[in-house]
Amino acid sequence: MSSYITVNADPPKAKTKRKVGKLAVQEAVWGFIFILPVVLGLGLFYMAPSAASLFLSFTSWDGLSSPQFIGFDNFANLMKDAKFTGSMLNTMLYTIGTVPLSVSIATLLAVLLNQKIKGMVFYRTFYFIPVITMPIAVGMVWKWLYNSEFGLINHVLGVMNLPQPNWLFDERFALLSIVLVSVWSTIGYNAVILLSGLQGISGSYYEAASLDGAGKMYKFFRITLPLLTPSLFFVLVMSFINSFQVFDLIFIMMDQQTTMLESTRTVVYSIWEDGFKYFNMGYASAQAFILFIVILIITMVQMYIQKRWVHYQ
């Protein structure tokens, strides 16, 4: 900010120091006026709600009467609440299942999509379609694919004489089934980010390596992968955050009242249940706050570890 002001406030014929200062102040004021709409928007729609929900997490509030301050009771109860700890565990399992699978497949896909083949635009579009499809449609269609009696997946398995599991309504498979759908719908987005990373790698590295007689695998692991790490890092951070916040797929693919939720309920689902089904807003806010802390810690750990494996050119 300050450098911006001094550069612009430097008049051709500098008169007195005081006059320049006045001009600088005036420009600074205008600068603030120009960013005011954004600051207002951010404050009104992001910061104020966050602060409000932090406050609410220390209260008991049904959304109607005035909130009652109850200190750390919500947090203490959460630690004892099997529903919440279970949903935390499910979210972790979901993340462990989704992130590595999605990112590794997306990396391979990005490399494949980075070739010069006829019809490449078609392939790239093809893999991106799941990303732009509404989650509701994705969930509904997959729910039918997974149907154990009438679904396409089990029909194919049956033809091949393979076991036909009950994908969504057997607690051993339910979470896995949702993980697969989520991988399917996120690889497109991740691949596009990684693809742009790949295209930023200068061809001269490969040329030099070829002259030195490097093979394909060697080039991939020693040039492509290290130079792709900044994009990979971004994709990893975003994937972690997104999968900790998963809600829509579970909401659509599971019934709202079913014992199967015990093995598929995620933290955000639990927040929604407590907040908008039972109207325990304080309890829901406390869960949201814990989730925020968890995501913050995970992201900070990632930021710390990145120094060891991310190579900026």
Partner 1 sequence: MKRRMSVLISVLFMFSLLLTACGGGDASGGNQGKKVINVALWDENVRDTLDKSIKIFNEKHPDVQVKVTYTPWADYWTKLKTSLAGNSGPDVYWMNGPNFHSYASSGLIKDLSPLIEQSGLDTSVYNEALVDMYTYQGKLHGLPYFQDSIALFYNKELFDKAGVSYPDNTWTWETVEENAAKLTDKSSGIYGFIAPIDSQIGYYNFIAQAGGYVISDDKKSSGFDSPETLSAFKWEQGLMEKGYSPSAQQQLETKPRQLFGSGKAAMLPGISVNSPELFELLGDKLAVAELPAGKKKASIVHGLSWAINGKTKVEQESWDLIQILSGKEGQELLAESGFSMPAYKGTESGWLDSIPSLDLQVFVDSLEFAVPYPVSQKTAEWQDAEVKEIQAAFLGKKTFEEALKNAGEQMNAILATETK
> Which residues in this chain contact partner 1 in the complex, by CB under 8 A?
33-34, 36-37, 40, 44, 62-65, 147-150, 166, 168-170, 255, 257-262, 276-279
For residues 165 and 8, give the distance between their C-alpha atoms in angstroms, rounded to a whole number. Answer: 69
Of 249, 221, 231, 251, whose CA–CA distance to 189 is shortest?
231
Residue with smaller CB distance to partner 1, 146 or 240 = 146
At 68, give phi and psi (nearest 5°).
-110, 125
Shortest distance (Å) from residue 280 CB to partner 1: 9
For residues 134 and 131, give the distance between their C-alpha atoms in angstroms, rounded to a whole number. Answer: 8
Shortest distance (Å) from residue 40 CB to partner 1: 8
Residue with smaller CB distance to partner 1, 228 or 265 = 265
Residue with smaller CB distance to partner 1, 122 or 150 = 150
Residue with smaller CB distance to partner 1, 4 or 32 = 32
Shortest distance (Å) from residue 147 CB to partner 1: 6
Let me know how long the chain is: 313
5-28 core/surface letters (b: 16 or more CB in 10 A; e: else): beeebeeeeeeeeeebeeebeeee
Q: Which amino acid is at 196?
A: S
Shortest distance (Å) from residue 272 CB to partner 1: 10
Shortest distance (Å) from residue 221 CB to partner 1: 45
Shortest distance (Å) from residue 54 CB to partner 1: 19
Contact 171, 262 (CB under 8 A): yes
For residues 153 and 155, give the distance between their C-alpha atoms in angstroms, rounded to a whole number. Answer: 5
Residue with smaller CB distance to partner 1, 55 or 206 = 55
Residue with smaller CB distance to partner 1, 146 or 233 = 146
User: 210: part of which helix (H) or strand (E)?
Assistant: helix 203-211
